């Protein structure tokens, strides 16, 4: 039976997606299960898979099918446009550069894991310099092919439709907001007595059981997901085989539990993408800023709300046999503090962590900042934004995995996603007047159902701002995030 060019393309992209799924599972294993001695071999495995995927994507045959494919309909036409974009990117980049970048990232990440433990930046400096050099080469090639600035070409790999210039304007607005909001929040907080959680330990096994129960009650299907431990919490795997990881601290259970709820937001997005377009570009998530909005609307907007915390407190008490109140949880989970670690930062100061990385990675990419000078630039920038200086590199430039794994251009997605989450939550509250009553019962299903209809099921059929406009009535508007923070921390 003769098939059309478009049908051949869908088959090709399905094969490419399978290779990427295999790489995702190997990456999860490297972070959660693999012994240190496997790093070199794993780097070769991942480089080979990336090279094969690139070879298929850049093949002349695929290019011929793209040229011959005819319009099919709304979703199919968007799928075709996304296929063409992927092909342009692939044909611009030589396979040896793809493989070298993956290999360098895997080697650097492995060294980073040990360097972070000992706060030894020198131990990973040379490897990071190689990652940055290869990323700069990639960005230059992609920028030329796409008619974009090199950094914008990298950003668009993670979130299409937002430029560095637009992000810089959004972040500058937030920096001005933070300058007055942070001292106000600190002053207001100081006037209110803080109730503390009972002292630990909070055994890891009980934390894991409660975390799993919370994720399940939020809608995560554990017949197609699992929860494990890694140095840096993440959500990976595939749509039908989700892999969530977290890390546990027996003196502070909140970090792990909120981390799992955060990753559950990512997982719900993946599990509810349109099944009809699975393994097709249009069936994928609409970018990492949109992905981050889905994790943050579950963790920050819903799970840290007054209503949900009133439900969570007795669950804490039962799980750990300790007297836990919602006021104590609120003090722990909504305390504003100038701190060093991004993943532990409060909502108000978190964007400052992202702003610092946004500026530094642009400077690294342009060559204005060299890798050996990164620790000093980090500390100087942190002092300027939050008025404190990290005492160690582990609390400074070594804390995140992203740069060491080659993910430059990713960080803006975090704060853009937080802003989108606030905007989506405002729209969900308008659409669901009884939402808080459900959250007080631990029931997130009305919210997740609304998100499934307005975000998840759309895949990449629309862009970031188009999805927001359809769901909320307007494209990204930082005012919703500022209003959320004002209501929660300044009143």
Q: Is 76 considered catalytic here?
A: no
264 contacts: CB under 8 Å, gap ≥ 6: 214, 215, 218, 219, 220, 235, 244, 295, 298
Give the phi and the psi of residue 245 in degrees, each rounded to 5.
-130, 155
Beta bridge partners of 242: 225, 237
Spatial distance between the Cα atoms of 218 and 15, rounded to a whole number of angstroms: 32
Say how far residue 263 (Cα) sits from the centre of its chain.
Answer: 9
User: How large is the C-alpha radius of gyration of the chain?
Assistant: 22
SS3 226: strand
Is 303 within 8 Å of 262 (Cβ atoms)?
Answer: no
Between the alpha carbon of residue 337 and those of residues 186, 208, 272, 295, 305, the distances in Å are 8, 27, 35, 22, 19
Question: Apex CA 116: angle with CA 247 and CA 258, to 5°?
Answer: 25
Query: Which of 76, 109, 130, 263 is an active site residue?
Result: 263
> Taking a C-beta distance cutoff of 8 angstroms, is the pair 131, 108 a contact?
yes
Count of helices and strands (H, E) across the chain: 20, 3
- Residues classed as catalytic: 263
């Amino acid at each position: 039976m003769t098939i059309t060019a478009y049908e051949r393309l869908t088959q090709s992209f399905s094969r490419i997606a399978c290779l990427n799924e295999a790489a995702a599972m190997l990456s999860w294993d490297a972070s959660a299960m693999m012994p240190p001695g496997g790093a070199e071999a794993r780097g070769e495995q991942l480089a080979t898979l990336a090279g094969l995927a690139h070879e298929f994507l850049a093949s002349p045959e695929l290019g011929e099918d793209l040229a011959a494919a005819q319009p099919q309909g709304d979703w199919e036409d968007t799928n075709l446009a996304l296929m063409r974009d992927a092909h342009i990117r692939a044909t611009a980049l030589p396979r040896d550069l793809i493989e070298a970048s993956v290999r360098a990232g895997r080697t650097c990440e492995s060294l980073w894991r040990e360097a972070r433990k000992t706060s030894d930046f020198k131990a990973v400096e040379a490897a990071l310099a190689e990652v940055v050099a290869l990323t700069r080469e990639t960005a230059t090639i992609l920028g030329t092919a796409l008619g974009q600035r090199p950094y914008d070409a990298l950003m668009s790999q993670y979130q299409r439709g937002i430029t560095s210039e637009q992000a810089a304007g959004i972040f500058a607005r937030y920096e001005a907001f933070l300058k007055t909001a942070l001292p106000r929040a600190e002053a207001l907080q100081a006037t209110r007595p803080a109730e503390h959680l009972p002292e630990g330990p909070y055994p890891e096994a009980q934390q894991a059981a409660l975390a799993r129960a919370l994720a399940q009650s939020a809608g995560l299907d554990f017949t197609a997901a699992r929860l494990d431990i890694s140095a840096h919490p993440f959500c990976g795997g595939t749509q039908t085989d989700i892999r969530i990881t977290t890390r546990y601290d027996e003196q502070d259970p909140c970090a792990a539990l909120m981390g799992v709820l955060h990753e559950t937001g990512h997982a719900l997005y993946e599990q509810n993408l349109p099944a009809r377009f699975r393994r097709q570009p249009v069936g994928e998530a609409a970018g990492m800023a949109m992905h981050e909005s889905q994790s943050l609307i579950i963790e920050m907007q819903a799970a840290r709300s007054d209503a949900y915390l009133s439900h969570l407190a007795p669950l804490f008490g039962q799980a750990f046999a300790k007297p836990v109140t919602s006021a104590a949880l609120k003090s722990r989970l909504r305390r504003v503090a100038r701190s060093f670690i991004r993943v532990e930062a409060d909502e108000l100061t978190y964007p400052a962590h992202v702003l610092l990385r946004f500026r530094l990675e642009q400077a690294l990419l342009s060559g204005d900042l060299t890798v050996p000078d990164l620790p000093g630039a980090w500390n100087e920038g942190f002092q300027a934004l939050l008025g404190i200086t990290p005492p160690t590199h582990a609390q400074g430039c070594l804390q995140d995995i992203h740069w060491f794994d080659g993910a430059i251009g990713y960080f803006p997605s975090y704060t853009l996603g937080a802003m989108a989450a606030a905007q989506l939550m405002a729209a969900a509250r308008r659409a669901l007047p009884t939402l808080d009553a459900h959250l007080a019962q631990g029931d997130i299903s009305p919210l997740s159902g609304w998100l499934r209809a307005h975000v998840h099921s759309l895949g990449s059929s629309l862009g970031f701002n188009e999805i927001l406009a359809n769901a909320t009535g307007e494209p990204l508007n930082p005012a919703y995030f500022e209003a959320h923070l004002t209501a929660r921390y300044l009143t």
